[in-house]
Structure 1
Amino acid sequence: MTSSELWTRATADRYDTEESERSSAVFLAPTLAFLAGLAGDGRALEFAIGTGRVGVPLRERGVPVVGIELSEHMAAVLRNKIDEETLPVVLGDMATTVVPGEFTLVYLVYNTLSNLLTQDEQVECFRNAARHLAPGGRFVIELGVPPLRFLPPGQVAVPFDVSERHLGFDTFDLAEQTLVSHHLTLDGTDGRYRRGSSRHRYAWPAELDLMARIAGLERERRVADWDGTPFTENSAQHVSVWRKPVECAPSRSHRPDRDRA
């Protein structure tokens, strides 16, 4: 078990409703095209597959998908959408759980790497991705860039959503490189708000590149979103791709003497 907080049944039951906008066909189209292009004719493994917001439509697109999920309640919601034979899911954590076979693509979306609350566990997540990848395969992460430049001296909170139905803000512990996301969500029609929070460890893009190097992966691409917008110093998030190197075959000039004429 990792340090990730475990999603409850109540959270799992309302997840798809609260994420309905991000689950729409229009919203997901660039994500699915990006991932399907990298998967090619091979299989894809989704770390923290959740309720299948991405994995199910990617499977419907023709990419064989396998999932790893820590919360049995999130996996149960997914199972109501698609059967085990079509999209297998293994219960376990994304840093250590191993599933059979090799994959051309391993992916982790929607800031989920930050659910691992220690640097060591995040490094192990990269190593686990590399463990599952075939030579030449890719590991993809979608992750926000820490908004620390919006913190004036003495301030510890940054809002990320202020809308009619939801107020969200993050509070930061800069010494520990962690944050707590706070949510006030309008619940029902009686005007009451439901309060919730979750802990995360934020990581900079350069730190992720070092984690990838430790795992034997090489950075191939970094963009600001699934549409491929160039990543800049002003980007609020990134989609990064690392590749598992392909071992070079020996050239004819290096064959043993017995193979020579």
Structure 2
Amino acid sequence: MDYDIAAYGERRPDYDSMDWALRHDEDEASRFLAELAPGGTALELGIGTGRVALPLARRGLKVVGVEGSPSMAAGLERNVGDEDVEVVIGDFADVPVEATFDLVYCISETFFLLPTQDSQIRCVQNTAERLADGGLFVVQAIVPDHDLYCGKQSTGTRQVGEQSAIISARRHDRAEQRVELQSIVLKENGNTFYPMLYRYVWPSELDLMAKLAGLTRVSRSSGWRNEPFTAASGEYVAVYRKN
């Protein structure tokens, strides 16, 4: 697969109805984020159709989002009512906005969609430049599953129903920490393919990227409820402050 910043969203026109691909944690996420910058300004990297941005705006923040997919951005615009939300089309590694923000956030492993370590480092550095003094950068991500990635390829079943099934096939480049993923929805009336290319990041690697950009880690928890992060945690929410 070749990298295309728009590809993820353009291949998912039915994103809002893809329950199997969504976390359904928007209430918890928006509450957590709003408490970090009450009444302030926020920037979402990879805003999609506004799953978290819209409830965050309803909690009193002005939200700007960067989105690579015109289809996703159009979906967001259809969803916006009275909320103070706007979207900029572009590569979120570049953080193509001019303003500064109290809060920048990237959720649901969206950070992994940047396909190289260089692009991920560039994203964190550009984020730091867009933060106000004392501003916060929040990343939600999974802890890579060593058993899943120890081989060069793997398949797994995500969901099974009476008339459908969803399977995932992965090809893994261990040296680059890159994965080519194909999620396949099998139905009686035809199959649908959702390709994805991503580069996973270990929590300690993200910490180092932040440190190089002049950010200090404030916390790392296992979720939006500030559950303790342990060796058994499968995901995390990391918060970094601009020094």
Question: TM-score when scaled to structure 2?
Answer: 0.88
Give RMSD over aligned pairs.
2.5
**Structure 1 counterpart of 2:174:** 174
**Structure 2 counterpart of 1:80:** 78
**Structure 1 counterpart of 2:15:** 15
TM-superposed CA distance for 1:61, in Å, is 2.1
Counterpart Cα distance in 2 of 1:162 and 1:20: 8
Which digits, 9 at most, give the CA deviation of each residue in 1:176-198, with x for residues without a partner?
211122212145xx353323321
Residues 87-96 or 190-199, more deviating? 190-199
**Structure 1 counterpart of 2:69:** 71
Counterpart residue type for residue 166 of structure 2:
H
Which digits, 9 at most, give the CA deviation of each residue in 1:114-140, with x for residues without a partner?
111111100011011111111111101
Could you say which structure has the higher strand fraction? 2
Unaligned runs of 5+ in 1: 246-261
Counterpart Cα distance in 1 of 2:181 and 2:224: 24
TM-superposed CA distance for 1:30, in Å, is 1.2
Secondary structure of 1:80 counterpart: helix
Counterparts of 1:176-215 in structure 2 under 5 Å? 176-187=176-187, 190-215=188-213
**Structure 2 counterpart of 1:257:** none
TM-superposed CA distance for 1:85, in Å, is 8.6
8 Å Cα contact 1:126/1:211 also seen in 2:
yes
Unaligned runs of 5+ in 2: none
Counterpart residue type for residue 161 of structure 1:
R
Does residue 161 of structure 1 match 2:158?
A: yes
TM-superposed CA distance for 1:12, in Å, is 3.9
Larger Rg, first or second structure (1 or 2): 1
8 Å Cα contact 1:12/1:51 also seen in 2:
no
TM-superposed CA distance for 1:47, in Å, is 0.6
* Residues 160 and 13 of structure 1: CA distance in aligned 2, closer, same or farther (over 3 Å): same
Counterpart Cα distance in 2 of 1:133 and 1:170: 36
8 Å Cα contact 2:141/2:236 also seen in 1:
yes
**Structure 2 counterpart of 1:141:** 139
Which digits, 9 at most, give the CA deviation of each residue in 1:117-176, with x for residues without a partner?
111100011011111111111101111111123456x56326372433422243321122
Query: Identity of paired residues, percent?
Result: 37
Which of the residues 176, 194, 215 maps onto 1:217?
215
Counterpart Cα distance in 1 of 2:21 and 2:67: 22
Counterpart Cα distance in 1 of 2:8 and 2:176: 26
TM-superposed CA distance for 1:105, in Å, is 0.5
**Structure 2 counterpart of 1:92:** 90
Counterpart residue type for residue 154 of structure 2:
A
Counterpart Cα distance in 2 of 1:211 and 1:22: 27
Counterpart residue type for residue 177 of structure 1:
Q
8 Å Cα contact 1:221/1:240 also seen in 2:
yes
* Residues 111 and 43 of structure 1: CA distance in aligned 2, closer, same or farther (over 3 Å): same
8 Å Cα contact 1:22/1:28 also seen in 2:
no
Does residue 132 of structure 1 match 2:130?
A: yes
